[in-house]
Structure formats: C-alpha cells, structure tokens
C-alpha cells in the first residue's frame, strides 16, 4: 500500500486525457527513491526524463514519443497513415492532425462511420485536448510540465511562435546534471564567482543574452537559458539547464566586460543538449513546493539565496558582460 498522493500533473492526465507512464508518475508523485543527493527530487528527475525526449529530433512518422504515456495504443494512428491516401488525404505525419486544414475539411464533409474516420476523429480530439492540457493546471510547476509533454507529441515551429531555436547535439556531452548545478549560477547571480571561474554569454543576432555558460566552477560547459528557447519543436522555459560541446578557439568572440570569459553569438554554436529544469525556472515563492527535497538540499547545503534569487539577476550579469560599442 502506498501513501503517495498524486501530483496535480498526474491527476490531470489521468482525468482528462491518458495516464502518464509509470516512471513519470512515480517521479512526479515524489517516491522516496528519487529524493536523494544525486537525483534531487522526483520533479527534478521527471524533467531529466522529459529532457531525453526533447533532445532527440521529433520523428514525424515514428511513435516512440508516446512512451511518455502508459501503454498508449498507436494502432489507430498507424491505420490513419496507411489508409489516408485512399480517402484523398496526403499525410506526411500523424502529428498536429488537429491543426491540419485538410483533415478538418475531410471530417466536416464526411458522414462516414467507418473505422478510418472514427480513428481520425478520435486522434484529432485527443490532440486538441492535449494541446490545451496545461489550462487544467493551477500550479506553476504543473503548467511547465504539461506544456513540455504536449510539445513532445505536438511539436511547435518557429513559424508559429516567435522564439529562438536551439539546435540539439547529436550526442549527449559528458556534462552532469546533478542537483548542485544551481550552486554556481546562484553565486554568479550575486557577483560571487570563484576566483578561477569564467562565464560565457551566448547572444542572439541582436546581441541580447540568450544563455550563460559556467567554466571552472563545477562541471564545465554547463549552461542556463536566460530566455525561453525551442528545441526540436519543444518550448523550453528560461531557467533550463543545458550542456555544450565545442572548441572555443574556433569561434568568433569578444571578451567579457567584467568577468573572465567571452560573449559568443549563439548562431555559431553547433548545438546544445537539454538536461533538466533548474529551480530557477520556477518563481521563488513556488520553488520549495515544486522542488521539495531538491530545494531543501540547496538550503541545507548553504547555497546562496536559493529562496529569493531571480533569473533576472543572471540576465543583468549577462548584460553587463556585453560591450556596447568599443570598450573604454
């Protein structure tokens, strides 16, 4: 018998759509096995699992992304793809059927009750509800996860949404995602870099800071996003943790204004790997609730102001490194 209470996310998917995988359910319900120094907490661990999906390019015909659910039956989708041409539909993917104009027009004019049409209507209804699943959530941390899960199945494009696209690396770099990664970003936010520490600031085409990377402070090439980014069709909130792998000498760059490190155009980077959400992805007032044991660990280990530090402080540090015109 278990005394675990279902997380709001688990309840929402179970009640309104389809149960999440047993792995995600166990993590979100904060099973004690995930509340460790290495894992942080179940919520943190769930974002690591989600990150493995996000960092892989969306397969427009494959069904592996449905592993976020518990035994989702894809037979109907397979039939839709196999039979669509017989019904005058040209479908290159099963994704975003609810937004497909040809599908909408077919369903509006079709009176057929055959298996194909029923399957199509069922999947369209499922996708339409998944797209708005976050609207059932009240908690800030639940909304974040609901949107991530929806985008994995129903990828966005930068044509639909004005957002910087962050390409994924083909292989995961050997950079850790331990719960203490925030330790140094919290220090940086308060101008408390280690003496040997360096920070690189990745900027967009307008010279605005997009991501900050720390070096010689814990794992090298550990990066935090300063703005929302899109990776493989999934919208990732500011405060997401990434890893990078590159040769700095090969890049165009300018030295930082204050600290050791460089300002580097993000367009020059060959990509990143999404690792998880950091505690900074959630507003200070909700962090203790969202990250539970992970947050407690930060407090117990004396991390610098984990309860009040805002992502905006890191953004200001990043802006201070960027030269405007010529250095004095």
Q: What is the DSSP string of 278-291?
A: -GGGS-HHHHHHHH
What does the pLDDT read at residue 175? 76
Extents of the domains making up the chain: 1-30+59-154, 164-321
Report CA torsion sign: 20, 128, 145, 221.
positive
Q: Are 322 and 265 in contact (CB under 8 A)?
A: no
Does the pLDDT of residue 324 top 60, yes or no? no
DSSP H or E run through 202: strand 198-203
Q: What is the pLDDT of residues 176-185, one digit of tens each?
A: 777 778 999 9
What does the pLDDT read at residue 113? 86
What mean pLDDT is reported for the chain?
Answer: 94
**pTM value?**
0.94
Q: What is the pLDDT of residues 192-212, one digit of tens each?
A: 998 899 999 999 999 999 999
- For 248-284, letters b (16+ CB in 10 Å) and e give eeeeebbebeebebbbbbbeebebbbbbbbbbbbbee
Q: What is the pLDDT of residues 5-17, one digit of tens each?
A: 899 999 999 999 9
Q: Are 186 and 179 in contact (CB under 8 A)?
A: no
């Amino acid at each position: 018998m278990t005394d675990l209470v279902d997380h709001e996310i688990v309840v929402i998917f179970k009640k309104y759509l389809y149960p999440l995988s047993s792995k995600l359910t166990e993590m979100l319900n904060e099973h004690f096995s995930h509340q460790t120094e290495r894992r942080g907490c179940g919520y943190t661990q769930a974002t690591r699992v989600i990150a493995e999906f996000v960092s892989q390019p969306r397969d427009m015909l494959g069904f592996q992304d449905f592993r976020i659910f518990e035994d989702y039956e894809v037979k109907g989708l397979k039939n839709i793809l196999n039979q669509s041409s017989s019904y005058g539909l040209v479908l290159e993917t099963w994704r975003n059927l609810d937004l497909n104009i040809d599908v909408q027009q077919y369903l509006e004019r079709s009176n057929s009750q055959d298996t194909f049409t029923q399957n199509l209507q069922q999947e369209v209804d499922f996708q339409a509800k998944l797209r708005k699943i976050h609207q059932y959530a009240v908690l800030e941390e639940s909304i974040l996860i609901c949107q991530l899960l929806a985008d994995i199945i129903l990828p966005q494009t930068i044509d639909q949404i004005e957002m910087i696209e962050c390409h994924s690396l083909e292989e995961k770099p050997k950079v850790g995602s331990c719960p203490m990664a925030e330790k140094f970003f919290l220090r940086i936010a308060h101008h408390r870099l280690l003496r040997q520490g360096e920070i690189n600031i990745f900027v967009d085409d307008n010279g605005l800071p997009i991501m900050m990377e720390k070096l010689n402070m814990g794992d090298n090439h550990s990066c935090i996003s300063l703005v929302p980014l899109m990776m493989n069709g999934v919208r990732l909130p500011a405060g997401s943790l990434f890893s990078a792998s590159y040769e700095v000498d090969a890049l165009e760059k300018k030295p930082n204004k204050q600290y050791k490190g460089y300002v580097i155009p993000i367009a020059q980077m060959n990509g990143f790997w999404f690792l998880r959400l950091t505690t900074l992805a959630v507003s200070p007032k909700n962090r203790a609730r969202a990250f539970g044991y992970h947050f407690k660990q930060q407090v117990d280990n004396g991390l610098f102001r984990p309860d009040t530090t805002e992502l905006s402080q890191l953004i200001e540090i990043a802006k201070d490194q960027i030269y405007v015109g010529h250095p004095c």
